[in-house]
Amino acid sequence: MSRGKDLILSDLFPFDVRVDIRADKTLFDLDNANPSSRWDPTFWNPKFDEALSEISSKYKMQTIGSLLNEPIIAPDHVRASKGEKICSKYNVEYRTLKDLLFTGLNYAHINYCSDNAYKRLKRTQLKVNDILFAGSGVGAIGRIGLVEKVIMKKSCVGDLFIIRNTKVNQQYLYVYLLTEFGQIQIKKIFHGVQSAKISTKEIESLRVVIVPEIIQKHIESSYKIIFSVHNKAMECRKSKNEKVYEKNMSKASAMLNELIEKTEDVIRGKQKDVI
């Protein structure tokens, strides 16, 4: 089989063997791999756990599942195959992924759906303080929205999870999910085989840092101020005042980014409160 002490590959494999070696990827590249491009659904990257290790030891963590007073409402959508329609002539408020703006829902342009769709999707009737969570699609997973007001008496949601009535402040949970600690966990559980998606159980597995109630209330108060600016922007867009709309949206975005950073600093133990 061998020639002297030399072992030749063809002796071991009497058929054509080809080995491809990646020379364009370093260990650093692999360590910083984009979760949406990984090969398997059990992808693990040390930086995910490293981020959570920064959390101050004085705070406990609980899963979203343990914080629920009501089950998460799973996604569905208007189905043309059932004779359901999306059209401005109807009077049912219909919320989808496009409504999830960074600082709040899009109240300037609203989709409406037919009554037969509402009857089937009635379980998704919007309530103030609902958190809408996008759970599928590359670039969409992790996008969330907080319902601060419901426009129509009848409403329903398309292709979004609904998290409502938890044991923590909803505004705090919303902001927390936007922090590095929330987003890094969401990225960690992306599915890498087939399409990107998150299941109800995976959302329930997300861990939430439990900061004192007074801090949660301060985050709520801060967000409500942000939402008032966001709401002004929506009114400007409806009246086609684009210049003032952009100004208010920019201001609201800067305020929310600042609140997220302060919340992260509180969680790391770098500051006592967000105010």
Residue 218 lies in a domain: yes
Residue 36 lies in a domain: no
Residue 198 in this model has a pLDDT that exceeds 90: no
The mean pLDDT of 111-116, rounded to a whole number, is: 97
CATH number of the CATH domain containing 83 = 3.90.220.20
Q: Which structural domain, as residue segments, surrounds residue 264? A: 45-268
Segment 29-48, tens digit of pLDDT = 545 555 555 545 455 566 66
Residue 19 lies in a domain: no
Q: What is the pLDDT of residue 52?
A: 77
Segment 152-176, tens digit of pLDDT = 999 999 999 999 999 999 999 999 9
Residue 192 in this model has a pLDDT that exceeds 60: no
Residue 89 lies in a domain: yes
Residue 274 lies in a domain: no
Could you tell me which of 171, 129, 274, 139 has the C-alpha nearest to residue 215?
A: 274
Residue 51 in this model has a pLDDT that exceeds 90: no
Could you tell me which of 183, 207, 266, 233 has the C-alpha nearest to residue 60?
A: 207
Token pair of 227 as six digits: 């939402």
**Mapping DSSP to helix (H, G, I), strand (E, B) and coil, where does residue 136 land?**
strand
Residue 128 lies in a domain: yes
**Side-chain half-sphere exposure of 176, counting CA atoms within 13 A:** 26
Q: How far is CA 261 from CA 176, 202, 264, in A?
A: 10, 25, 5
Q: Using CA atoms, how far apart are residues 125 and 74, in angstroms rounded to an integer?
A: 12
pTM to 2 decimals?
Answer: 0.82
Count up the domains in the chain and report the number. Answer: 1
Task: Provide the 10 A C-beta neighbour count for residue 200.
Answer: 15
Residue 101 lies in a domain: yes
Segment 210-227, tens digit of pLDDT = 999 999 999 999 999 999
Q: Report the percent of the chain where pLDDT is more than 70.
A: 79
Residue 169 lies in a domain: yes
